[in-house]
Amino acid sequence: MSILVLPGDGIGPEVTAQAVKALRSVAANGPQFEMAEAAIGDAGLHQAGDPLPEATLEAARRADAILFGAAGTYESDLLPPEKRGGHGLLRLRKALDLFANFRPVYAFPELIGASTLRREVIEGVDLVVLRELTGDIYFGTPRGVERDASGQRIGTNTMRYTEGEIRRVAHAGFRAARQRRHKLCSVDKANVLETMALWREVVTEVGRDYPDVELTHLYVDAASMHLIRRPRDFDVIVTGNIFGDILSDAAAMLTGSIGMLPSASLGEGGRGLYEPVHGSAPDIAGQDKANPLASILSAAMMLRHSLGQEEAARAVEAAVREVLAEGYRTPDIMEPGARSVGTEAMGDAVAAAIQR
Ligand code: GGG
C-alpha cells in the first residue's frame, strides 16, 4: 500500500507529521505502508517553480492514497493564479478527478465543553457535508481580471456545472445517506442562480432512484441558519464547491474547532486524497500550536476508504477519543482543567494510545 505524503505549507508539515506518526504506530502491529513525500503549494513553487510540480502529480497518480496537509500562504494568495500555493491543491483535485469531498462533522462528547455553542444545540451532532470539488465558480470560465473601456478593473468568475457533474455527486450523496440515517439535504441557491436551478432539478431526478432516502432542499442562506440552529436534524448535506467550502467551516464550530474536521476527496476509483479541512494558518505555523487531530482523523478515513483497513481506521479513531477523554487539549480546544499540549505532544499521545 503506497501513500504519498504532501505536507505543503504553514502548519501543513506539522500536522501531517503527527498523522504519519499515527500511521507508523498502526504499522508497528499490522498493515505495512510505503510512504513517500513530495512538494506542493508554496513549497512546490520554491522547489520546482510550480505549486503542483509535474513530479508530484506523477507520484500522486501512482499512489494508492494521498495524505495532504495544507497549501498556500497569505503572500502567495496575492500572486497571479499560477503562482498561488492553494491553486496547486485545486489543480491536483481536478487532475485526479476527485469530485466528492466528504467532510464529517462529529461533535465528540468529550469536547462539548470546549465549544462556544450551547450544549443542547451541539450534543449528538453527527452529519456529513459532501462538497462537490471539481466544478463551480472555482473552475468555470470566463474568469480573470481585465479592464473595461474606462480603464476600471473588472473581476470575473463563472458558476458553472454540467448535468453530469451534478448527477455524479448527487449519486455519491444518496449512497452516503444510505449508509447513514437515510436523509439527504441538497443545498443550492436555485431561487437566484441558473446553475443552482439546474442543480436542484438534477438532484431531484437522481433522487427517484433512491426512494428510501428522504430528500430535502434548502437555499444556502437558510441552510447556514439551520445548521447552527438545529444541526442534529442534518444527516448528509450535498452541495456545490463554494457553498460546501463555506458551510463546512461554519459546521466545524459545532465540533469545537476547525482543527477537528477531517476530509476525504474521492473519485470513481479507490484512490483518494485525505486532508484536514483547515488551511495553512501561517499565523501559528512553527509554534507547536496547531491541532493535529483533523489530520490524524483524515489518516483514519484514508485507512478505511482507500486502503481497506477498517480495523486500523477504528483503532486510530478510538485513540483520538481516548486522548480527548484523558483531557489532552491543543489551544484551539482548550478548556479549564484540561491538559494543555502542543501539536507534537498530541501526536505522541495518539500514537501511544493506538498501541494500547
Ligand atoms: N487542507 C486544506 C487546505 O489546504 N486548504 C487551503 C486551500 O487552498 N483550500 C482551497 C479549497 O479547499 O477550496
Active-site pick, 64, 97, 126, 249: 249
Q: Which three cell numbers stand for residue 56?
A: 508530484
Looking at 109-123, 220-234, 255-269, which range is the least confident one? Answer: 109-123
Active-site pick, 50, 189, 210, 274: 189
Judged against a pLDDT cut of 80, whether residue 186 lies above it is answered with: yes
- Whole-complex ipTM: 0.91
Hey, where are the domains in the chain?
A: 1-98+261-356, 117-255
Q: What pLDDT, on the 0 to 100 scale, is given for residue 269?
A: 87
The tens digit of pLDDT for each residue in 15-57 reads 999 999 999 999 998 899 999 999 999 999 999 999 999 999 9
Nearest CA to ligand 1 atom 4: 70
What is the total residue count of the chain?
Answer: 356
Judged against a pLDDT cut of 90, whether residue 86 lies above it is answered with: no
User: Average pLDDT, stretch 277-293?
Assistant: 97
The finding on whether 240 has its CB within 6 A of some atom of ligand 1 is: no
Same fold flag, 1-98+261-356 and 117-255: yes
Mean pLDDT of the chain: 96
Nearest CA to ligand 1 atom 6: 279
User: Average pLDDT, stretch 82-96?
Assistant: 92
Is 42 known to be catalytic?
Answer: no
What is the C-alpha separation between 7 and 48, in angstroms, rounded?
Answer: 15
Of 282, 309, 279, 307, the C-alpha closest to 3 is: 307
Judged against a pLDDT cut of 80, whether residue 218 lies above it is answered with: yes
* Alpha helix stretches (DSSP H) within the chain: 12-29, 42-48, 54-62, 74-77, 85-95, 119-122, 163-178, 194-207, 220-229, 241-252, 293-305, 310-325, 343-355
> Within 13 Å and on the Cβ side, how many CA atoms surround 185?
22
Q: Which residues are bridge partners to 300 per DSSP?
A: none
Active-site pick, 42, 136, 138, 274: 138
User: Average pLDDT, stretch 293-312?
Assistant: 97
175 is in an annotated binding site: no
What is the C-alpha separation between 119 and 125, in angstroms, rounded?
Answer: 10
Judged against a pLDDT cut of 80, whether residue 116 lies above it is answered with: no
The tens digit of pLDDT for each residue in 309-339 reads 999 999 999 999 999 999 999 999 999 999 9
Residue 91: left (phi > 0), alpha (psi -120 to 50), or beta? alpha
- Centre of ligand 1 from the C-alpha of residue 283, in Å: 16
CATH number for the 117-255 domain, one of 3.40.50.300, 1.10.3720.10, 3.30.300.30, 3.40.718.10? Answer: 3.40.718.10
User: Average pLDDT, stretch 197-216?
Assistant: 98
Q: Does the domain made of 1-98+261-356 have the CATH classification 3.40.718.10?
A: yes
DSSP string, 159-186: ----HHHHHHHHHHHHHHHHTTTSEEEE
136 is in an annotated binding site: no
Of 100, 31, 32, 43, the C-alpha closest to 69 is: 43
Q: What pLDDT, on the 0 to 100 scale, is given for residue 164?
A: 98
